[in-house]
Structure 1
Amino acid sequence: MNTLTHFASPQLPLLHRGKVRDSLRAPSGDRLIIVTDRLSAFDSVLETAIPHKGAVLNGLANFWFDKTSHIIPNHVIKLVDANAMLVKEAQPIKVEMVVRQYLTGSMWRGYQAGQRTFSGVTVPDGMTKNQAFPQAIVTPTTKEESDREITPENLVSEGWVTKELYDQMAVKAQMLFAVGSRLLAEKGIILVDTKYEFGLLNGQLILIDEMHTPDSSRFWSTEDYARNPETAEQMDKEYVRQWLIANKKDGQYPRALTPEVTQEASRRYLDIYERIVGEPLPTAETGAAYAPHTGRQDARARMQANLVQAGLIKDAWVSIVLDAPEHKAHGEQIRQQLAGYDVFTQLRVASAQQNGETIAGLAETWNNSIEPGVVIAAAGNGLGAALAANVNVPVISCPPYQDYTELALGLNSAAVLPSGTPSLTAVRPDNAAQGALRALNLPRLRERLGQDMQATKAKLRAADEEFKAL
């Protein structure tokens, strides 16, 4: 299926890889958030991705950030792709503000067991499952490895926030919930409960992360709730959770979904997007906004084109790998030959044996990069072979050498590399660079290289004519 399960690029340093979202450093210093199609349930990421899920979450978050910007500023700079959002870098506050309007979920389970106070809020006896509270309540949790219920007083005494900051967050959370509840009610949807995350930007409280999405909120259909409040079905990934529970074997949940469950889950995500926003998800249709190069095009190709268009990445990369820092001059010589072709270049130090960065770590990024790339091993053939055995992009070896004896030994070893190590060899730095440009096989580079060849031929003809005239 056409899903986005993993994002990587040598051009964008990875800051954090979460269960669903990947955060990377943008060239401007801002943060690029990639919302993948991964699905997390019961604290683990399933092997099956849900088509369009990431675009639904990203699109809905952007929709709600726009609708609530009059209440509190948020971190959004712009939506650069259906699955990617450029945001301001804020200092996150390690507290989730959970707002609840109904007695359900984990709170109902605690209530059944006799609990009446939740995060410092006391609820009355005699309530029934899914019953509404007289007014929405705020039950904060800490953002640790496992979220922890905590009272506002303890949040302050433990140093999570100041009282003034907590009070400000609580007021804003209630205001956001009120706006969300009203707008969703107009669309026949009940906002049951949700979470909000805040951060500080230049000392100012702002809204970050996501809001009012199927992954951060619980939704019910107004009609479904009216028929029977206690059996109201959630309009979110609870459908998948219930399937996992029903198919649990030997205490283990399935790691993958069936095609039928995957398709239904995707349909539900798309349906709730359309109900909230009022129009279909653009990337699920042709002529998609934020997907200018097609609607149903491969998600990775679409994202690459949009990130290039936004100026966040070049359309290709060349990584020049040294086996030791003392070979930096040789690597820079290769790099200079790539100047003017508008490709991203970098120097890295790795070793087939021990020092420098590990090949495995570099290969993880190269092998999953959203854009095409080439690796040049500016070292002996041992490194080139080790790289070629671990990466799925072209590898060119261009070893430095002190004399022709060393060169002859290097060429001899290059000719007998073992199977499964397809590293090509170029002696001259300019040939290594030109070989990398050709290996990228981009139309714009092919056109440019064709122009270069024509210019070279014209110079040769002019020189020949000048020689004949002597």
Structure 2
Amino acid sequence: MSLADQVLAVNDDLPIRTDKPVHSGKVRSVYWLTDADSRRLIEEKGYDVAPDAPLAIMVISDRISAFDCIWHGEGGLKGVPGKGAALNAISNHWFKLFRANGLADSHILDIPHPFIWIVQKAKPVMIEAICRQYITGSMWRSYEKGERDFCGIEVPEGLSKDQKLPELLITPSTKGILEGIPGVPAVDDVNITRKNIEENFAAFNFRNPADIDYYETLLKEGFNVISSELEKLGQIFVDTKFEFGYVTDASGKEKLIYMDEVGTPDSSRIWDEAAFRDGKIIENSKEDFRQLLLNHFPDPDILLNKDRMEERAALARDNALPQEVLMQVSKIYTGIAEKITGKKITLSENPKAEIVAILREDYGLID
């Protein structure tokens, strides 16, 4: 069996029973179940959700995206071996730890296979919440150009690249295009302040102003739980992105939960602590792949400049990366997943066939 066969690149063509279009993102595809199947599974499996809650099958892939493009390798390699299973395993681990620490639930109800989550529909809070413990990446680039105000927070003078910040910084941005919010441009992923959120809480889908405090608590405590666990493993949790939403449980109580993924190499920067003490940065996250791309192509501005998206898309489409590049990324993802979870990530021989068999036999979702 070739390496390319062990990669799940296309994940929106599974024969899962659905009466809605499959939503395919950069990495995951979402299949909304029929009302009848949702109700049946809630009853059969005893999920703690409202009896009429819409459920979905979320299937991860091994695709790799960076700079808003999907990349591929030589030899028909359309993704990174082991990446999907590694991402899910890491998220599952942190979500479990959050619950154990009394933080909040996630949107995941069941994990039938390393590539699959059964999730409940949540009403998303329209904020990408970034927590930063070190100044690096885009924040450092802005700081170097003289910017000191980040999302309404004044950052002191005299900081150096990759330095630990005086305190954990929350720098939220919009999730999607939000219209009609004073002082917030109607574009995706634009930085916002806490004042913007407070004055327009309903526009961001918060139920009430008190939930803004709760969301910040979940952000900081979630960050600290992951950070202290990574510290035990000789890793530094540099920064990360959290997403939240509202769901209703079986008793009819509405609650704020974590959604999407948490603390993964896709949504976070993770550095090796021993190397950092020696003045070196060793990335155990997708940032390593981004840097690799910036060094690989002669004109890195194409990757950094949002006005050159057409050229960037062509770059990703027309250039098969060397296989060893994607295998290096595979080593980073599976390595950090095994370190965090203490379990081996095994490559599936035919992930699609396994998924179909499980969803047919154990969940009755495939005819």
**2:153 corresponds to which letter in structure 1?**
V
Amino acid at match of 1:114: G
- Answering whether residue 67 of structure 2 is matched by residue 42 of structure 1, we say yes
Alignment-mate amino acid for residue 82 of structure 2: H
Q: 1:269-300: CA deviations, max 9, x gaps?
A: 1101111111211x33xxxxxxxxxxx42111
Where do residues 277-356 of structure 1 align in structure 2 (5 Å cutoff)?
277-281=341-345, 283-284=346-347, 296-314=348-366, 344=367
User: Which AA in structure 2 matches 1:71?
Assistant: L
The offset of 1:189, in angstroms, is 0.8
Task: Determine which of 139, 142, 145 is the counterpart of 2:171.
Answer: 139
TM-score (norm 1): 0.62
The one of 185, 197, 202 equivalent to 2:243 is: 197
CA 1:309–1:226: 2 relative to 1, 3 Å? farther
Contact 2:14 2:356 in 1 (8 A): no
Moved over 3 A (4+): 12-15, 249-255
> Which amino acid counterpart does residue 93 of structure 2 have in structure 1?
F
Pairs within 5 Å for 1:127-276: 127-144=159-176, 146-158=188-200, 159-160=203-204, 161=206, 162-202=208-248, 203-228=254-279, 231-249=280-298, 251=302, 252=312, 253-254=315-316, 255-276=319-340
Say whether the 8 Å CA contact 1:77–1:86 is kept in structure 2.
yes
Instruction: State the shift of 1:83 in Å.
Output: 0.7
Larger RCO: 1 or 2 (CA < 8 Å, sep 6+): 2
1:25 is matched with 32
Whether the 8 Å CA contact 2:113–2:355 is kept in 1: the answer is yes
Per-residue Cα deviation, 1:48-71 (whole angstroms, up to 9, x for no partner): 311111111111111111110121
Q: Secondary structure at the match of 2:321?
A: coil
Q: Which residue of 2 aligns with 1:59?
A: 89
Q: CA deviation at 1:15?
A: 4.3
**What is the percent sequence identity of the aligned residues?**
34
* Contact kept in structure 2, 1:97 and 1:169, CA below 8 Å: no
| Aligned equivalents of 2:219, 2:27: Cα separation in 1 | 23
Contact kept in structure 1, 2:269 and 2:286, CA below 8 Å: no
- Whether 1:80 aligns to 2:144 is no
In 1, distance between residues paired with 2:216 and 2:103? Answer: 13
Instruction: After TM superposition, give the deviation of residue 249 of structure 1 in Å.
Output: 4.5
Paired with 1:238 and 1:113, the residues of 2 have a C-alpha distance of 21
Q: Is the contact made by 1:192 and 1:218 (CA closer than 8 Å) also made in structure 2?
A: yes
Distance 1:127 1:299 in 2: 47
2:147 & 2:191 partners in 1: Cα distance?
Answer: 13
Preserved contact between residue 21 and residue 31 of structure 2 (Cα < 8 Å):
yes
Deviations along 1:286-323, one digit per CA (max 9) or x if unpaired, are: xxxxxxxxxx4211111112222331423xxxxxxxxx
Match of 1:121 among 153, 157, 165: 153
**Conserved? CA contact 1:23–1:34, under 8 Å:** yes
Alignment partner, residue 45 of structure 2: none
The residue type paired with residue 174 of structure 1 is: K
**Cα separation, partners in 2 of 1:102 and 1:312, compared to 1, 3 Å:** farther
1:115-145 Cα deviation digits (max 9, x unpaired): 1111111111111111112221111111126
Corresponding residue of 2:305: none
Whole-Å separation in 1 of the counterparts to 2:364 and 2:116: 11
Conserved 8 A contact 1:119-1:150: yes
> Which structure: larger Rg?
1
Cα root mean square deviation, aligned:
1.7
Which amino acid in structure 2 is aligned with residue 310 of structure 1? D
2:9 to 5, 9, 34: 5
1:441 aligned partner:
none
Of residues 91, 98, 117, the one that matches 1:68 is 98
Count of residue pairs the alignment pairs up: 301
Within 2, Cα distance between the matches of 1:109 and 1:49? 29
User: Quick one: which amino acid aligns to residue 217 of structure 1?
Assistant: S
1:71, 1:175 within 8 Å by CA — same for their partners in 2? yes
Q: Which runs of 5+ in 2 are unaligned?
A: 39-53, 73-77, 178-187, 249-253, 303-311
One-letter code aligned to 1:278: G
Which residue identity lines up with residue 92 of structure 1 in the other structure?
P
Cα separation, 1, equivalents of 2:151 and 2:115: 34
TM-score relative to the length of structure 2: 0.78
CA distance in 2: counterparts of 1:152 and 1:130, whole angstroms: 25
Is the Cα–Cα contact under 8 Å of residues 81 and 307 in structure 1 kept in the other structure?
Answer: no
Matched position secondary structure for 2:358: helix
